[in-house]
Chain A
Amino acid sequence: MTDLLAQLPQDPMLERRRLVQATAAKTQRSRATRSSLFTTLISACLALAVVPLFLVIAALIVRGGKVITWTFLTQAPLQPTIFDQETIGGVGNAILGSLVVDGVAALVAVPVGIVLGLYLAETESRWANALRSVTEIMTGLPSILLGIFAFIYVVTNMHTYSGLAASVALAMLMTPVITKAAETALRAVPRTLTEAGLALGARQSKVSLKVVLPVAAPGIITGVLLALARAIGETAPLLFVIGASIRYDWNPLHAMSALPLMTYQYSSAAYDSQHTAAWGVGLILVIIVLLLNISARLISAYMRRERH
């Protein structure tokens, strides 16, 4: 039998295959070593990428954890003196300021962002495409430019630093993020739902508001939470518009302060107690931001489970 096979004319394809197999067998060892080296290398990359988050959080807890007390959370800051370096008061005014400033910004950015998302999801035109590109580019613009915008229009016209000016800058920052999330969520709603609504005789507006919007709600809420998380952590747009007041004040028309700004100021302040306080404020900030992020993630995970 084998003799018979040997007498057949050689098949060029078989010949080729034999060559490939021989080469593969010969290089197997070196390719395997190279492969395991490469996979070790990129796994090390993953390890390197994960480490900084834990380093940052560990540093925040170790250096800032002990300053967080009830007084620290509720009192207004005090200026320490050389004789009394430990008296720094608290950051209650900054917590309040962050709440008011981001709240006012959200009050504007959430409805505008959702309506823009509806517009972009429902309109197919060159104009809508251009607007979509511009909002996407907006999300990548340095936030300090928005601070300049707020300074030019709000601070110079009101002749005073104010929480409102900071809200204007942050609303500009949040709107494109919410728009993007809303558009994505709205587009993911099955077309059949819209058509069923229209077939029942409801208007486009009614279908959009009563059918499509509720279905897309979890995605939109996720986007809003992420936008809020981003806005709460921003320092650059507040720098020259918020006024860095050290007093308690509800009124956004007056100068205020905010958590990220407090961290920035304390980090370069004169006394050690203030440096420690900077870590404390940073810890509060990171806790808030991570909570917002994790709840956003939980909502979107829940949404994904619902759909399948």
Chain B
Amino acid sequence: MTVQSSSELIERSLVRGMMPRTKPGRSYNYVLRGVALLFTAVLALFVWSVLHQSWPAWSTYGLHIITGNNWAPAANDFGALPLILATVLTAGVALLFAVPIGIGTALTLNFLVPRRLAGPLTTTVELLAAVPSVVYGLWGLNVIVPWMSTTAQPWLASITNGGWPFSGNAIGLGIATASVVLAVMVLPTIVAISRDVIGTVPRDLVEGALSLGATRSQVLTRVVIPNAKVGLLGAVSLGAGRALGETIAVAMVIGSSPSMPHSLFSLGSTLASTIATQYTDAPQMHMAALGALAVILMVMTASVNALARALVNRGTKGAS
């Protein structure tokens, strides 16, 4: 063993520490790429697994699964049209409430509320998104359902004299109630994204309009909203994606009856809630049909989400 001089030691350690012995950061890059590849593989596996499981249903029933209007697992009849309609209907009615309220809230938070209050109020609205959906289901089942059956539904029925779309028994459970619960659940999403989008409307435009003597409402409806249009549409689509895929809360209040919805008071069952309530212990073909529902749901939510992302990105980029 030769005794090394200290300067030699320092030199060697410096060289070892500083000079790349191999190509710079090769193993590091391998790790990054490897994990990315692995994750992509798992995602592909995920999509494939759902497709694969649903395959027997598609090959046996074909498009009857989408167009058939009778979902009767006991009779081996799997037509998901009532489920698709209930899904779209609940999401649509929920948006009918949530979009105006959400955009109004976003406008208020951005333009009317003093800055010191805006922070806590925004947090409060955003915490709505944090509440687990099972808690909304519990609340819907025990608070909204009784309120609907004793107060809201009789009142609505009296408006149309028991005619469409408020016909049927006011039992509380059903599509209308699911929509109300969904509206509360998608509200924070719409508020959060709308606020971001509205925040990118150039300050000069707003101030220019104000200096010309426009009133607040004129500025908001004629300058801010038209400028944020694309992004707001994205916010709405993101809310729609959430409403279409919501499972537990809807399953708890919609009444789980896979029949064709003929009014807002009728019981129903959405794609997601049907999977949730029937998947356990389903026999072979039934499970394949539920897999087919999962495929329909995946295609629906993924395309709505992709559209939403594109709109939001364009909305926030185009304006700034």
Contact = CB atoms under 8 A, between A and B. Distances in A.
Interface of A: 24, 31-32, 34-35, 37-39, 41-46, 48-50, 52-53, 55-56, 59-60, 63, 112, 115-116, 118-119, 122-123, 128, 131, 133-134, 136-138, 140-149, 151-153, 172, 175, 201-206, 208-209, 229-230, 232-236, 239-240, 260, 263-264, 267-268, 275, 278-279, 282, 285-286, 289-290, 293, 297
A275 B109 CA distance: 38
B232 interface: no
Contact of A240 (B25, B100, B215, B280): B280
B27 to A, nearest CB: 8
A287 B125 CA distance: 16
Contact of A289 (B105, B132, B221, B279): B132
A76 to B, nearest CB: 20
Contact of A49 (B18, B191, B275): B191
A195 to B, nearest CB: 15
A118 B32 contact: yes
14 contacts: A39-B108, A39-B217, A42-B108, A59-B143, A112-B38, A137-B306, A141-B298, A143-B247, A145-B297, A145-B298, A151-B279, A202-B18, A267-B137, A268-B252
Nearest to B97: A48
Contact of B248 (A60, A128, A131, A236): A236
Identify the 5 closest CB pairs spanning chains A and B, nearest first.
Answer: A233-B132, A142-B245, A45-B104, A205-B28, A38-B217
Nearest to B104: A45
Interface residues of B, number: 89
Contacts of A232: 132
Given A49-B187, A133-B306, A140-B241, A263 B134 contact: yes
Interface of B: 18-20, 24-25, 27-29, 31-33, 35-36, 38-40, 42-43, 45-46, 49-50, 52-53, 100-105, 107-109, 112-113, 121, 123-125, 127-128, 130-139, 141-143, 184, 187, 191, 213, 215-218, 220-221, 238, 241-242, 244-248, 252, 272, 275-276, 279-280, 291, 294, 297-298, 301-302, 304-306, 308-309
Contacts, number: 249
A286 B101 contact: no
Given A118-B32, A119-B36, A172 B42 contact: yes
B101 to A, nearest CB: 5
Contacts of B221: 38
Contact of A119 (B35, B272, B306): B35
Contact of B134 (A138, A172, A235): A235
Given A46-B113, A230-B130, 8 more contacts: A35-B217, A115-B31, A137-B302, A140-B238, A140-B301, A205-B27, A232-B132, A285-B134
B309 A137 contact: yes
Nearest to B35: A115
B184 A142 contact: no
A35 B124 contact: no
Contacts of B105: 42, 45-46, 48-49
A289 B276 contact: no
A121 B57 CA distance: 42
